[in-house]
Structure 1
Amino acid sequence: MTIIAVFNQKGGVGKTTTTANLAAAMARNGLNPLAIDLDPQAHLTSMSGVKLPATKTAVGFFQNHTPLSDLVVQLPNQVNLIPSHMELARIDMMLGNNRRDLRVLKKAMAEEMLSSSDTPVLIDCCPMLGVLSLSALIAADVVLVPVTAEYLAMNGAQQLDQTLNGLTAQGLYRPRKVFINRYQRGHTTSEKVLHELTRRYGRDFCRTRVFESQSVLEGVGNNQDVFSYAPDSEGAEDFGFLLDELIETGFIKVNL
């Protein structure tokens, strides 16, 4: 399966809702996904209704070398989650920006056979380009970039281009897919951003548009993914289509 880092250096673009809803779409298709919350803000963990002491979260992995498999929590929607905690921010500052620390997550995933298993892994990254985000990008096979239909979000995508180019220069090429999030049909800004993303990213830009959706927002407020909250909604349909496209284009590899 594929390890996917969901990342953009612009905050508020929907990284957490993308991770939660893509993982839910995978679970509905019998893919047994694992979501890892590597954002110290722990929004994915909070959205999932999980409350655990720091040592039972990703903090335990980085601080106490707790095996990743010992930190997994199964959610009601059949998504497996390694939760986060605000103490992860201290870990990010304590870890060194050296090759050994940056590769500890990749090494652990290989040793626990997560990187070669039938389990797709989604890593919800924080927007700050620190040790945690770099660790996720190094551990990942591919990078999925949500870009909201606004100009500032495109700037974040441009910054990510520079980061990925830097990794490539170090022999760490990571394929990427960019998709437009919170798109509003007929809205002038949405249409301009859509045109620019299509021009800039070409084949790396997803055909699927994830529309602005009240059901997605309400699901978050109820600690639910959109498939659990409103399975027949346009929001659920959009994330289902997004998963289909990522699989059909080979961006996400599945064992059928």
Structure 2
Amino acid sequence: MTVIAVFNQKGGVGKTTATANLAAAMARNGFDPLVIDLDPQAHLTAMSGLHPEARRTIYGFFQAQTPLSELVHRLPNGVNLIPSHMELARVDMLLTQNRRDLRRLKKAMAEEMLTDSGTPILIDCCPMLGVLSLSALIAADAVLVPVTAEYLAMNGAHQLDQTLSGLTSQGLYRPRRTFLNRYQRGHPTSEKVAAELTRRYGRDFCRTRVFESQSVLEGIGHNQDVFSYAPDSEGAEDFSYLLDELIETGFIKIAK
């Protein structure tokens, strides 16, 4: 299965919401996904209704070498989550960007055979390019980039181009797919951003648009993914289509 880092160097692009709903779509299709909340803001953890102690989160892995498999929480929607905690912010200060520290997450995932289990893994990254985000990019097989239909988010995606180019120069090429989030059909800015992303990324830009959706926003307020909150909504349909496209194009590899 594929390990995907969900990342954009611009905050507020719906990265966490996209991670939660894409994982929920996977669970509904029987894929038993694992999600790692690697953002010290812990929004994905809070959205899931969890409030664990720091030692029972991904912080425990970095601070006390707690095995990843001991930190997994099974959610009611079938998603397996390794939660986050605000204490995780210390990791960027305590660890360095040397090769050993940056590969710690990838090494642990391999040693615990998480990457060979047939389970898709999503890593929700923080927007800052520090130890945590670099660790996720190194651990990942591919990078999924949500871009809201506004210019600053598009600039964040362009900054990520430079980051991924730097990894490629070190022999760490990571395929990337960009998709448009919170799209509004017919809105001038939405259409301009969509046209520019199509021009810039071509086949690496998803055909699927995730529309601005009240059901997605309301689901967050109820600590639910859109499939649990409004399974027949346009928001649920959009994330189902996005998952289908990522599988059909081979971006997400499905174990036979």
TM-score of the superposed pair, with normalisation by structure 2? 0.99
Task: Say whether 1:85 aligns with 2:85.
Answer: yes
Cα shift at 1:90: 0.7
Q: Which runs of 4+ in 1 moved over 2 A?
A: none
Secondary structure at the counterpart of residue 97 of structure 1: coil
What is the aligned partner in structure 2 of residue 3 from structure 1? 3
- After superposition, where does 1:202-241 map in structure 2 within 5 Å? 202-241=202-241
Gaps of 5+ in 2: none
What is the aligned partner in structure 1 of residue 148 from structure 2? 148
Cα shift at 1:115: 1.2
Deviations 1:19-64 (A, max 9, x none): 1000000000000000000000000000000011000000000000
Paired residues, number? 256
Residues in 2 aligned to 1:93 and 1:3: alpha-carbon distance in whole angstroms: 25
What is the aligned partner in structure 2 of residue 183 from structure 1? 183
Cα shift at 1:184: 0.1
Among all aligned residue pairs of Structure 1 and Structure 2, give the percentage whose two residues are the same amino acid.
Answer: 82
Residues in 1 aligned to 2:171 and 2:63: alpha-carbon distance in whole angstroms: 28
What is the aligned partner in structure 2 of residue 69 from structure 1? 69
What is the aligned partner in structure 1 of residue 162 from structure 2? 162
AA of the residue aligned to 1:200:
R
Residues in 2 aligned to 1:225 and 1:206: alpha-carbon distance in whole angstroms: 22
AA of the residue aligned to 1:191:
E
What is the aligned partner in structure 1 of residue 136 from structure 2? 136
Deviations 1:117-140 (A, max 9, x none): 110000000000000000000000
Residues in 1 aligned to 2:149 and 2:8: alpha-carbon distance in whole angstroms: 14
AA of the residue aligned to 2:64:
N
Residues in 2 aligned to 1:92 and 1:117: alpha-carbon distance in whole angstroms: 29
Secondary structure at the counterpart of residue 195 of structure 2: helix
TM-score of the superposed pair, with normalisation by structure 1? 0.99
AA of the residue aligned to 1:82:
I
Deviations 1:127-160 (A, max 9, x none): 0000000000000000000000000001000000
For the aligned residue pairs, the C-alpha RMSD in angstroms reads 0.4
What is the aligned partner in structure 2 of residue 42 from structure 1? 42
